[in-house]
Structure 1
């Protein structure tokens, strides 16, 4: 089921809604009867549904929406590369850098000029399950009717191999052997977004979440079910996920010195590269088209980001007339 952004009319493939962003080259697909492939350095295995929760995650682009609302913008940015209960070979390399750079962009004039107190950035050891929950509660308590909330999550996602097959985000202190008690349920994020949409003007979610080798087993139905339900919520929402179900997503130094491919092209889009008509105003449709096409090309058609929601395609995401950031840092 593809949810298209309101007002957009694209002639993309019948099985997906946008031009896919490219992140990887030699990804192996796991069948539902086998464990997830072991991650080699530079590979991120992404669940399309888990991606939505995030981070973004990268919904951060909403920060530049001053022309749309006179309210404030709040951002929750989570990037986890290191995990207390995972062997180092299953750690990521650049998820923390994705969140950190997104925070810098949002604070820049081009990205919306968010004040530091409106940006909650959590990476690695600071990104515990309790800390992420506290951030959601804090932002929910501060945001009002005219405000925008941006959620960006980059890291690992997993699905229980038994029981109710629930989907989770792995935080720094999550134990994959006891996810119910230690990880962040995607259903919890769904509740936050659903309740938030009744209290704020809009929510943008950018999710770049990967599945670690041998952590649970693939269950796209569980993940996609959470994602698609969000599209039925009241209020304006944009969900942008790094990949389709069963695809993998990649990270590496070739992406701006060290990023996930999806995150890198999203950052480039918001920095002005997506300005297709040359008016220096970056809109939602320009961002999505740019990210999907460039990720698709960069990964040789192996990764295809997806979007859903009701956000108007003309929503302003960034103003390239204003100073931005150096993505090579």
Structure 2
């Protein structure tokens, strides 16, 4: 089997396809220990499962002290039944006993569930009779559980439907008397809701069955019954109503795919915040993404959003805690200084005070993003309005310079202010209204370079590049020393691919003002697009020296370092960018396109709002991390980063191509043929998005190679 990784690099490898077993059972899961290097295959012909977690909606009492975690008293019932007393040989199951053993192990682990061993009852095989289930669920758990406890129920085995009602199958179930020998899910609902007490209640059920026992319609009924047991519980299901869940002996020696990723998540892989705590939200997201990916969307774990406390602690993994890594601050600070006394400063159209020479004004608590700054002194032309970016947890110093004696009319100034008010709101309708005011201001005063600049910015945001270029040129013609106009014009030129003219404008900008950090980081972008990586690295370094908190300078430095082969340095700079640009998504629309610069050279991207630019930047940063890790053969890390990139931009063909390469390479390296369909899926997605890009032929060859290999198995 041959894959095209680059234009001239081909790798080959093969592996015998594994046999798979499908089943329909009910299995409640938390976790089990797996060999660190064992990677599970994607199931194909199997029996099936379904699964849910559920919990009270009361708030979790997680501590506020850093790295101090209070674990509630916890109880669990773990049930696994592979062989049934009264079922035929063809109806027996293989792995529920192993699943139960594994769940028991992770529950009592200090790097997992943190349950006391004496508080976890395990029933497997012949011990899991109907009478024993009734005792554990209706007597033991109700007698020991208290309101502040955590209670978990796990069941792995068969599920059946009789006269429209769903039942879990104990060891001694009799198919001739399902109603009398099965454990009704209605009874399980009553037990959890009314009898068993607890602050955190968790039900994990993976319902799996063979079609020989019940028709497919029963899958929907059983899964639906499990999902609706009690809306006050946290519910995570192995698959959707009409889907089956898969298992195989190749998953951890014999487990289900859902269970495998639940375990990996509870071992710490789902702990995205790296605080040592695996929450309900983190586990649900991790399991859904990985199971769906591994099965080619044949199996889709689901959870009921809003029906559980998203911060509920499912596992505590102390080794995952990263000391000294607090969450990023939400607000930033502007420090305003002026070259003269008596300068009134406006931020976003509101007066914030008067700045005097030598006495800076500090404005903490500002929302991260772009803010409009203007300094005004009677008798002089104002400095601004102009845009400055506030970064989370950082101070940004803004120098206001009042130099020119006033000569513009108040009417022209007012028109510019009205246009700015609309412009900063974003969206096409506001841009068009803003353009009217800017045009009126420029008509009233043909020397008003700021009005020309914002007309250029506005029309570029509306995709009217010819008009945009007209007004950018007008701005620099009116004032050849208008550094911001040169830099903004260059930003538009980069967007449309006129890199040479952009470089000329940027050199003009930094030549007039060597401290223009915006000019330097856009120059780093331009040089990167010309594959002049050393020059790009140098320009980005100057931008960072001038403005260390400028996130985009770190991004372009990372890009050129990666493309120049310095992968570890690139990784550091990508992560710095991601940290500095870690704005709440609802604030992303405040990031101004021209302050940030726009990413080009990766295929044409459309943008309906400024928030799209923010998403593009973050998507490409994660793509860069993915590629850097791939080049170093760190495939697991690469997969994680590429998946994050797709989370910001699912329509990026380059990310799909890279992820397909990583999955295929990992399949070859570890001999896991079951990962190949997932790789194929991403190659196909890339071609569906853009079938004419340079890498399209490589994607087609890789698809053909995968198909030929799988057919040979």
For normalisation by structure 1, the TM-score amounts to 0.73
Bigger radius of gyration, 1 or 2? 2
Matched, 1:43 2:22: no
1:136-177 deviation digits (Å, cap 9, x = unpaired): 1201111011111101111111111xxx32111111111122
Question: 1:176 and 1:65 mapped to 2: Cα distance?
Answer: 45
Q: Which runs of 5+ in 2 are unaligned?
A: 1-18, 25-42, 64-68, 321-713
Aligned to 2:147: 145
Change (3 A) 1:221 1:208: closer
Equivalent pairs counted in the alignment come to 272
| Aligned position for 2:262 | 266
Gap change, CA 1:220 and 1:150, over 3 Å in 2: same
Q: Deviations over 1:195-222 (max 9, x none)?
A: 146x321211111121233334434664
Higher helix share: 2
TM-score (norm 2): 0.35
Q: CA deviation at 1:65?
A: 8.7
1:154-233 alignment runs, 5 A limit = 154-160=156-162, 164-196=163-195, 199-217=197-215, 218-219=217-218, 222-223=221-222, 226-233=225-232
Find the counterpart in structure 1 of residue 80 from structure 2.
79
Q: 1:246 to 1:204 in 2, by over 3 A?
A: same
Aligned-residue CA RMSD (Å): 3.1
1-side partners of 2:61 and 2:46: how far apart?
33
Residue from 290, 298, 318 that aligns with 1:321: 318
User: Cα distance 1:114–1:66, how it changes in 2: closer, same or farther (>3 A)?
Assistant: farther
Matches within 5 A, 1:79-158: 79-136=80-137, 137-158=139-160
Deviation, 1:86, is 1.6
Distance verdict in 2 for CA 1:224–1:252, change over 3 Å = closer
Q: For 1:105-147, what per-residue CA distance to the aligned partner results, in whole angstroms no more than 9, with x for missing partners? A: 1111122332222101111111111111111120111101111
Corresponding residue SS for 2:152: strand
Tell me, yes or no, if the aligned pair for 1:81 and 1:155 is still in contact at 8 Å.
yes
Q: Which has the higher strand share?
A: 1
Q: Are residues 293 and 225 of structure 1, via their aligned partners in 2, closer, same or farther at CA, if it must alter by over 3 Å?
A: closer
Aligned to 1:33: none
In the alignment, which residue of structure 1 is the partner of 2:243? 247
- Shift in Å, 1:103: 0.7
Question: Are residues 316 and 232 of structure 1, via their aligned partners in 2, closer, same or farther at CA, if it must alter by over 3 Å?
Answer: closer
Q: Unaligned stretches of 5+ in structure 1?
A: 1-23, 30-39, 324-329
Given the superposition, is the C-alpha separation of residues 211 and 42 from structure 1 closer, same or farther in structure 2, using an over 3 Å criterion? same
**Of the two structures, which has the highest relative contact order with CA contacts closer than 8 Å and spacing of 6 or more?**
1
The structure-2 alpha-carbon separation of the partners of 1:224 and 1:264, relative to structure 1 and needing over 3 Å to count, comes to: closer
